[in-house]
Amino acid sequence: MTTFPTEKYPSAAAYGRAYFAELSRVAAAIDLHSLEQVAACLGSAYQRQAAVFVCGNGGSAALANQMVCDHMKSMQTDAAVKARLISLVSTIETLTAIANDISYDDVFAYQLKTLAQPGDLLLTYSASGESENVVRAIDWAVNNQLEAIAITGFEGGRAANTATLNVHVPADNYGVIEDLFQSISHILVHSLRMAEMPAELVAARKF
């Protein structure tokens, strides 16, 4: 993994050329076998209507919420699969109550203890893989009969090492990492939707 950027660029256009080149380089380095494993795990959860809990911090929180929107809605378009996704970051009242009264480190694990059942699935986004609340959620999941998927950047951290499955983005630039996190989410929902669609409808629909 190389650091990006390593120099000051003179303009947005110059940085843009370098950024898009870095985005392409890192995308090509993602392990597609791990992506296939995650797709199979997620597809199985959707088919058996298990609850899929998603979470992250900062930009990764936004990605978690976007995943709920994309996957829950799109999987019912021509595919007729009811994806039961629940964001653990969408209710600020719950988050702040847990953070204030217990600990921010427990905002996700506490919700899982309340809502999750064996056979459900947790999917987390964390650039560093070291966010304590994400790591605690993964720990709780794997110790309570949930599969845990970690989408990570940088070195992967404890999240990558603890989760059942990991898709790793080998980069240290937050923008590149989060762009590819979003791409991974789109690839997952598009491929899972296509798998359930009649072949003749693929070209006729928007993805």
Percent of the chain surpassing pLDDT 70: 100
| Cβ atoms of residues 65 and 90 within 8 Å | yes
pTM over cut 0.75:
yes
Report the pLDDT value the prediction gives residue 76, as an integer from 0 to 100.
87
Report the pLDDT value the prediction gives residue 168, as an integer from 0 to 100.
98
- At 204, the pLDDT band (50, 70, 90 cuts) reads confident
- Statement: residue 2 has pLDDT above 90: no
pLDDT in tens, 144-179: 999 999 999 999 999 999 999 999 999 999 999 999
**Strands of the chain, DSSP E:** 51-55, 84-87, 121-126, 147-152, 165-168
Report the pLDDT value the prediction gives residue 206, as an integer from 0 to 100.
86
Report the pLDDT value the prediction gives residue 80, as an integer from 0 to 100.
84
Grouping H, G, I as helix, E, B as strand and the rest as coil, residue 123 is strand
Query: Looking only at Cα atoms, what is the longest distance across the chain?
Result: 54
Q: Which domains does the chain carry? A: 12-202 (3.40.50.10490)
Average pLDDT over residues 80-104: 95
Report the pLDDT value the prediction gives residue 74, as an integer from 0 to 100.
87
- At 77, the pLDDT band (50, 70, 90 cuts) reads confident
Mean per-residue pLDDT over the chain, rounded: 96
Report the pLDDT value the prediction gives residue 66, as an integer from 0 to 100.
96
Nearest to 23 by CA among 173, 133, 164: 173
Number of Cβ within a 10 Å radius of residue 191:
15
Average pLDDT over residues 112-134: 97
